[in-house]
Amino acid sequence: MTLRVLCVFLLSGWLSIYAAALPIPENGPALRIQGSNTIGADLGPALVEGLLQEQGLLKIHRETPDTANEQRIVGQTAQGQRVIIEVAAHGSSTGFAALKNASADLAASSREIKDSELLALQTLGDLKSPAAEQVIAIDGLAIILNPSNPLQQLNTEQLARIFAGEVKTWEELGGRGGAIHLYARDDQSGTYDTFKELVLSRRGKSLSSAAKRFESSEQLSDAVSNDPQGIGFIGLPYVRQAKAVAIADGASQAMLPLNSLIATEDYPLSRRLFFYLPPDIQNPWAQALATFAQSPQGQAIVATSGFVSQTVQAMSVAPNALMPEGYQSLSRHAQRLTVNFRFAEGSASLDNKARQDLARVLDYIKRNGKTERAVTLVGFGDLKDDPARADLLSKLRAMAVRRELVRNGVVMREVRGFGALMPVATNSADEGRIKNRRVEVWVY
């Protein structure tokens, strides 16, 4: 059997895919996925099931081998031939190691690939190219407590000191309960890598050796739920019976891990979930799964799996006194789309996710009849020594998005720049500055 995939870029900006049957190997799995437990526990298998259904396979089910955190998703052709896709979920770093030793076709990662991994895998092609690096969902790291804990919010500085073991009792935080018990994911976990990057490393701290470590997200969450003195960090779908608290970063407002704040990546501990496909060693099943994950059907599965889909929606924003007057006026008369475009230091070039989101935003604008002076772009930047430069860069980034929309037939209403106002993260570290360099899309 041969693969035939026809991709047509519609005027709406979305990719329509029509796929003939994928090739089925005579022996062994059609696809081997390794990496993130956050993805591999349920989201990855659910996306695989969706792809198998799209391919017309029958009797689709999951099989669990003896090894923990591994699954096989199995379907059957009309002729009775079994199609097997293997998913091993032992942590993001294991996915990149598996690509290197050729024991996986696709790496699932709950963090961006590291420079050292890029270098180690350069013989497989550029894993930072748009085709290789696929953002499949947005997640938020929830900071979870036992439901009986009265604490409602924390900031990232407090989190760093708590998980480094420097803050030892709940009373030091204005709470009650005595000694703090720490729960964390294991060293192979992308969830741990993300927490380390966003919270610990940027403050020069390391995780306390007293923390109890878990490979399983579910087990960690349940342990915190059963410990009145416990605190842990976990991917959004795994809050389960625990209590999530609001988080502030730098001068940002404290935010709960709400879907709307995670979709825009404003929530301080939001993160992207990735598929990485080696461009020089192409498995058609891997390519088909990545394409399916980006489709509306795939993003619907993302949402039902408890993560935040990249499907663009409009949301109302309540004005408040902390907003500049021009932004308050905008929030009274328009709605904000659930997407932000972000940029690297000193750059007005869209990143890989922004390129995907551009197609989704164009599709939303055209489907909802917003092409004629109904769209306003709002740019923000990180704090700089020269406020005028921050203002200029914020507007230049908005203009970069404007060019792409105008090129696709959208007549803009307005483009505005608010400089370094309304930060969503601290400007003291690269990760925070990148979050603050953003362009919002508003529709009337």
Q: Decide: 129 and 274 in contact? Cβ < 8 Å.
A: no
**Displacement of CA 190 from its chain's centroid (Å):** 12
**DSSP symbols for 130-190:** TTTEEEEEEEEEEEEE-TT----EEEHHHHHHHHTTS--BGGGGT--SSB-EEEEE-TT-H
The pTM score is: 0.83
Strands 335-342 and 314-315, sheet pairing: antiparallel
Of 81, 70, 88, residue with least CA distance to 28: 81
Does this chain's domain 5-136+273-304 share its CATH topology with 140-263? yes
Query: Do the strands 181-185 and 375-380 form a parallel or antiparallel pair, or are they unpaired?
Result: unpaired
Within 10 angstroms of residue 436's Cβ, the number of other Cβ atoms is: 25
Helix (H, G, I), strand (E, B) or coil at 43: helix
CATH assignment of 5-136+273-304?
Answer: 3.40.190.10
CATH number, domain 312-443: 3.30.1330.60
* Domain range summary for the chain, segments of one domain joined by +: 5-136+273-304, 140-263, 312-443
As a whole number of Å, the CA-based R_g of the chain is 22
Domain covering 140-263 assigned CATH 3.90.1150.10 in the classification: no
By the 8 A CB rule, do 57 and 75 touch?
yes
pLDDT of residue 437: 83
User: Cβ contacts of residue 322 below 8 Å, gap of 6+?
Assistant: 253, 422
In degrees, rounded to 5, the angle at the alpha carbon of residue 13 between the alpha carbons of residues 7 and 18 is 25
What pLDDT score was predicted for residue 394?
Answer: 82
Residues composing the chain: 444
According to DSSP, the residues that pair with 15 across neighbouring strands are 9
List, run by run, the mean pLDDT of 10-residue segments along the chain (444 residues).
30 37 92 96 97 97 94 96 97 97 97 96 96 95 96 96 98 93 94 92 95 96 98 95 95 90 93 95 95 97 95 94 92 96 71 90 97 95 71 85 96 90 69 76 98
Distance from CA of residue 412 to its chain's centroid?
Answer: 29
CB 91 within 8 A of CB 104: no
Q: How far apart (Å, rounded) are the C-alpha atoms in residues 39 and 35?
A: 8
Task: State the pLDDT at residue 346.
Answer: 58
Helix axes 43-54, 284-294, angle to 10 degrees: 100
Strands 212-214 and 82-88: unpaired
